[in-house]
């Protein structure tokens, strides 16, 4: 697999659920910031040619420092994000030239190279793919009065993660159309789906957690420590 992938890392959010003054993507996880763990994964992948990092306008400078400090040579652009996540993705997308592109949350530092490769491989077959895991819980649809109205079949329900992978021109066109029509989707797949393009699912891992609340941090610390222990014993994956 040649180095034909670009990556948009979205880290412009100012999440309030963490309850800290600092945005969650800049909090420490183990020995370095959450965002640096995320960037290092893609830095180490041979298939990745370029990375666009999208952050808040106040954070561009410190991210430039980290890129230098941690030798993140594949980060080719650090840009300020937009009002919505979708606008931020579009800002990052504009800077990339690769044939294929992934979009990944800066606060998902525990995705594995194997899962990323599975998503990329599925996208190359179909043109668009997302990482996801089957839902374990019973899901109920509830109305405004708090009354259950339906119970969807759990076998058809998947919890969507990132990365999400696309042919770059397809994602670019989908974003341009969404922007022109004032459509805001909850993820990039939704922006592509509304063009009538099928998006496939690649099965990921339950450990690819999104760090958004205080209780996520100890769990992420545990997963990181376990992964490092496995690597030390030679059980880990190869990038």
Average pLDDT over the chain, rounded to whole? 93
Tens of pLDDT, residue by residue over 50-65, are 999 999 999 999 999 9
Contact 210, 219 (CB under 8 A): no
Tell me which of 18-32, 135-149, 172-186, 213-227 is least confident.
18-32
pTM of structure: 0.92
**Residue 70 half-sphere exposure toward CB, CA atoms < 13 A:** 23
Enumerate domains of the chain plus CATH numbers: 5-232 (3.90.550.10)
Count the Cβ atoms, other than its own, within 10 Å of residue 66.
19
Contact 97, 50 (CB under 8 A): yes
Nearest alpha-carbon partner for 204 in 168, 164, 235: 164
Count the Cβ atoms, other than its own, within 10 Å of residue 212.
16
Tens of pLDDT, residue by residue over 205-224, are 999 999 988 889 999 999 99
Contact 169, 69 (CB under 8 A): no
């Amino acid at each position: 697999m040649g180095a034909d992938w670009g990556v948009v890392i979205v880290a412009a959010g100012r999440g309030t659920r963490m309850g800290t003054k600092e945005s969650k993507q800049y909090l420490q996880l183990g020995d370095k910031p959450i965002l640096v763990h995320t960037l290092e994964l893609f830095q180490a992948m041979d298939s990745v040619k370029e990375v666009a990092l999208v952050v808040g306008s106040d954070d561009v400078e410190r991210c430039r420092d980290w890129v230098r400090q941690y030798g993140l040579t594949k980060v080719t652009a650090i840009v300020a994000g937009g009002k919505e996540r979708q606008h931020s993705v579009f800002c990052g997308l504009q800077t990339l030239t690769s044939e294929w592109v992934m979009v990944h949350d800066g606060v998902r530092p525990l995705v594995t190279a194997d899962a990323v490769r599975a998503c990329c491989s599925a996208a190359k077959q179909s043109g668009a793919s997302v990482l996801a895991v089957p839902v374990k819980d019973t899901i109920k649809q509830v109305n405004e009065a708090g009354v259950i109205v339906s119970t969807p079949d759990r076998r058809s329900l998947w919890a969507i993660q990132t990365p999400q992978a696309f042919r770059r021109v397809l994602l670019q066109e989908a974003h341009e159309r969404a922007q022109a029509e004032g459509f805001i989707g909850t993820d990039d797949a939704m922006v592509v789906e509304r063009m009538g393009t099928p998006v496939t699912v690649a099965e990921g891992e339950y450990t690819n957690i999104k760090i958004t609340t205080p209780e996520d941090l100890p769990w992420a610390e545990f997963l990181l420590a376990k992964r490092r222990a496995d690597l030390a014993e030679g059980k880990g994956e190869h990038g």
